[in-house]
Structure 1
Amino acid sequence: MSRHDYKFRPNPKWEDGFFVPPAPFPMPKPLDEWSKMDVFDSIIAMSRNPINATTKASMTEEDVMSDALGQTVVVVTSPEAIRHIFIENAANYGMHPVRQSILKPALKDGLIAAEGEIWRKARRALSPIFTPRHIGEFPEPMRRVTKAMLPDVFPDGQVIEADEAFLKLAYGVLSETLFSGEIDGNLDDALKDIATFMNVLGKPDPLDLIEAPKWLPRLTKIGSGRAIARMRAQVRDVSNLRRCRIEAGDDVPQDFLTLLLTTKTDDGANLSDDQVEDQIMTFIGAGHETTSRALTWLSYLLSQDKNARARFEAEIDSLDRALPVQDWVNHLPFAMACFNEGMRLYPPAPLISRMALSDDEIDGKMIPKGATTFINLWSLHRHRAHWDRPDAFDPDRFLAERGKAIGRFDYLPFGVGHRVCIGQRFALQEAAVMMAVVFKTIRLNWIDDQPHPWPLMRITTRPEKTLRMRVEQR
């Protein structure tokens, strides 16, 4: 075959005692050698699954530059370039139009999609909400909801769809921490709307990739507007009711919604209804799938590596449950190493893109105005120059001296620079609590009569097909 066969799927394997899950082969041909047919193939492959368009050079070389797609594209992998683009000269790199065409219709001026002064004001207003003091209030509700939902979501002895189970559990936790469970509606209906919402955020339409005019209909997004409208209506209703209760002086839950409604902007005003709505939609978009997908991948990896699972379960079992729940994350070093290794292999937010607003230079390479620069976390987290056994599941790489040796810009599951994920601490707390509760009670065993999961890059990295596992009571 003359062109890269992105449909070929290797089997999982063991190398030197380490489990290596199946993953796409990177495209061997350098971008500068692509023909027009290669470019066409890559656009189709990228719209189906952007991981398919990962090149070998982006996993072996530093800062790969090409004009093959009709404009300058730089895949950023070196610490120097990442620091320059995302920290030192971040003002020269704005949100990419393709990214914004995907995010803006759903998130509007939420923190992920906002730019310029709108983003700066929102970030300053929201930063006090994500302090350790406030985040420390949420692990106990996380524990309580996880424990309450566990029997229904993970019924003993049953074969379940693990990815759907973790999505449902994560939504329960998110609903409690956002709204104290006060949002109306059927859980299954809400999850369907969220699934549609997340597909809109994560899947680029081929017309988006070629920056076609906005008036051309995106066939892949037909029907998504209704799901987003229903979600916004629910958020608006619960927000309006809570605001009325606050203004009346009633006792209200101290959840994220109350914190949003009572935080102040630079001029001392409260956030508007639209601002609150946009931020909550962003929290749902950023906070629902990331932890649930990471736990799904972790469950798969542990089901294959029995030695790692034994160590993981022993640590979970030995956790002192008398400790304050917010401290659990600090007493689960191997479990958190497993979680981090899962996020390395399957990045929760796999692409970070920017566009150069004016000419620039990085390490002697000219970056013209309009150039696309992006970090592909899939290739960065598996880069041959940064990682030993880059494709293998090796949680110990995050412990002790090996963990300290990981470069600041080699592992970026929550982004980098001024726009690093504001909810990072919340996500790690949530993961620790959910792991400690779920895996103290059950074990998820792999069902052999199914293909091993194939990574699909959307707004998160998810399994292409559902993951069936059998629940075993421990």
Structure 2
Amino acid sequence: MTASPPGPRGEPLFGSSRRYAKDPFRFLSACESAYGDIVEFKLGTLPTYMLTNPTDIERVLVSEADNFRKPDFQSDALGDLLGEGLLLSEGETWEKQRELTNPAFAMGRLANFADRIVDHADTMLSGWADGQRVDVEQEMTAVTLDVIADLMLGVELSEERIETVRRSLDPLGAQFEPDPVRFATPNWVPMPGDREYQQALETLEGVVDDIIAERRGTEGNPEADRGADVPMDMLSILLRAQERGEQSAEQLRDEVVTMLLAGHDTTALTLTYTWYLLSEHPSAREKVHEEVDSVVDGRPTMDDVRQFEYTEWVIDEAMRLYPPVYTIFREPTADVELAGYPVESGSALMLPQWAVHRSERWWDEPAQFDPERWTTERQQERPRFAYFPFGGGPRHCIGKHLAKLEAQLILARTASQYELEYARDGHFEFRPSLTVHPKDGMPMTVHER
């Protein structure tokens, strides 16, 4: 067994972090193409191993998931923001919270709320007009915040609150953009942007406190949860658990912040990139319009979603080309062998959706937008974890079903009325943070059909 995997030569102190920070997407793809299944490099002084073979990724996320945890460095960076919410918590805390909140995300529950999702889409569309130019990223952010607040927190966010949350997202996200200085600097050292981050965090916590106070005032008797009409949104479940002494105020806050941020972001970005890709590929856009027109009678329903085929393929293909979460990190809890090489406990494992989703080893013409690669026959030709936008295994995204349902309903409702056209020349640039954002929004012109 060779002593160490191949990988790019780094610099003293910084390792490969400067190349990674300059363009993480190009770096990830270049490493996958040049070195294959496993790549070793350093982010600052942190030994990092990138895994790009679906078999190894499935092993880390699924078959041996208990041997790999969320890494300490990621918890340190996100701890102030998300605390011990579902995204970061480990062990018994995570298991308890996951089991407690699962009913809120059950497909049987979500299927009853298709009308409410479409209501939020209607509200968005009521502000559009033929020929108007809109920032689709902002529009999708607002509508998905509306949906997550309604279905998971049981509140209606005012336009002012939505704008307050939206304004907080940029300074919060900036804290997690790849930065070689941050990679090489202890967390306690002050850095540019820290003040803006803290201010945005305090603003967001103020919104969350208001939401919790509002719901606590209307929740009523928690012992009524044996009744037939008990609300089963996530916040109601957590408030009842708190009344039973099973949920601290801090844990409750962490879960609400996590849901408010993570619960809308990936869906908003999926829709943003879907609209861009449809604008750039008119034949695919026409097929979506044809399917929506043939299936939907009036407003899209849950029964319509069950009939969608091409529409779902388009969304899956958007998440392949532009996965909102572009890499997942894990940390082995003990020394382990991966892809034929020894990896020490405490090292960072990088599982990059961006590189794997675009690899020529797993995909035909991976740079091409091809929704029909999602036919059953073609899917069976690929390894299972050649595509993992929602992660996998016990820690897969709890909101996966909501995200897919929401994206299809909002896409169908919008496409039934409007055609969207990208309003810039040339390709947009990316802004990498915890998720992949277009650098300067996504301006599009809406044309009434």
2:378 corresponds to: 402
CA RMSD of aligned residues (A): 2.7
Of the three residues 439, 444, 449, the one matched with 2:420 is: 444
How many residue pairs get aligned? The number is 438
Pick which of 408-417 and 137-146 moved more. 137-146
Rounded Cα–Cα distance in structure 2 between residues aligned with 1:424 and 1:264: 26
Q: Cα distance, 1:68 vs. partner?
A: 5.4
The answer to whether structure 1 residue 273 and structure 2 residue 273 are counterparts is: no
- Residue equivalent to 1:222: 195
Report the 3-state secondary structure (helix = DSSP H, G, I; strand = E; otherwise coil) of the residue aligned with 1:472: strand
* Shift in alpha-carbon separation, 1:68–1:163, aligned structure 2, 3 A: closer
Counterpart residue type for residue 246 of structure 1: E
Identity of aligned residues (%): 27
Task: Say if 1:182 and 1:238, in contact at 8 Å, map to a contact too.
Answer: no
How big is the shift at 1:373? Answer: 1.1
Q: How far is the alpha carbon of 1:190 from its aligned partner?
A: 2.7
Distance 2:230 2:210 in 1: 16
In the alignment, what sits opposite 1:336?
312
Q: Please report how far the alpha carbon of residue 356 of structure 1 lies from its aligned counterpart in structure 2 after TM superposition.
A: 2.1
Q: Any conservation in 2 of the 1:443–1:472 contact (CA below 8 Å)?
A: yes
Q: Is it true that 1:119 corresponds to 2:94 in the alignment?
A: yes
- Deviation of residue 451 (structure 1)? 3.0
Q: Answer with 249-258 or 463-472: which moved more.
A: 249-258
Aligned ranges 1:7-156 → 2 under 5 Å: 32-36=7-11, 40=14, 42-59=16-33, 62-67=36-41, 72-152=47-127, 154-156=128-130
* 2:411 counterpart letter in structure 1: M
Residue in 1 that maps onto 2:295 = 319
Counting only pairs closer than 5 Å after superposition, residues 169-248 of structure 1 correspond to structure 2 as 169-183=143-157, 185-200=160-175, 202-210=176-184, 212-248=185-221
Q: Deviations over 1:339-389 (max 9, x none)?
A: 110000001111111122221113432112222211111101011110000
Mapping 1:409-424, distance limit 5 Å: 409-424=385-400
- Structure 1 residue 207: Cα displacement: 4.3
Tell me which amino acid in the other structure corresponds to 2:285.
Answer: R
Q: Does the residue aligned with 1:313 lie in a helix, a strand or coil?
A: helix
For residues 28-77 of structure 1, the C-alpha deviation after alignment (integer angstroms, 9 at most, x for no partner) is: xx96452528x858423433542242252414654223255555422112
Per the TM alignment, residue 400 of structure 1 is displaced from its structure 2 partner at its CA by 3.1
Structure-2 change in CA distance of 1:73 and 1:472 (3 Å): same
Moved more, 372-381 or 159-168: 159-168
Match of 1:345 in 2: 321
Match 1:295 to one of 265, 271, 290:
271
State how far apart, in whole Å, the 2-side matches of 1:315 and 1:98 are: 46
Question: Take 1:350 and 1:187, find their aligned partners in 2: how far apart are those partners?
Answer: 26
CA–CA distance in structure 1, aligned partners of residues 417 and 201 of structure 2? 36
Q: Which moved more, 1:458-467 or 1:171-180?
A: 171-180
Question: Residue 433 of structure 1 is aligned with which of 409, 419, 424?
Answer: 409
Contact 2:133 2:445 in 1 (8 A): yes
1:465 corresponds to 2:440: yes
Corresponding position: 1:165 with 2:143? no
Aligned 8 A contact 2:295 2:307 in 1? yes
> Structure 2: how far apart are the matches of 1:367 and 1:42?
18
| Structure 2 unmatched runs, 5+ | none
* Cα shift at 1:276: 2.2
The alignment partner of 1:223 has SS state of helix
Cα displacement string for residues 106-131 of structure 1 (whole angstroms, at most 9, x for unaligned residues): 00011001122221221121222221
Q: 1:464 to 1:42 in 2, by over 3 A?
A: farther
CA drift at 1:81: 1.4
How far off its partner does 1:144 sit? 0.8
233-242 or 102-111: bigger deviation: 233-242
Are the aligned partners of 1:43 and 1:206 in contact in 2 as well (CA < 8 Å)? yes
Q: Is the 8 A contact 2:69 2:330 kept in 1?
A: yes
Is the 1:60–1:385 Cα contact (8 Å) retained in structure 2?
Answer: no
Q: Deviations over 1:171-195 (max 9, x none)?
A: 2222322344444644322310233
Deviation at 1:461, TM superposition (A): 1.4
CA distance in 2: counterparts of 1:248 and 1:33, whole angstroms: 60
User: TM-score if structure 1 supplies the norm length?
Assistant: 0.84
Q: Which amino acid aligns with 1:399?
A: T
Output the CA distance in 2 between the equivalents of 1:102 and 1:288. 21
The secondary structure found in structure 2 opposite 1:445 is: strand
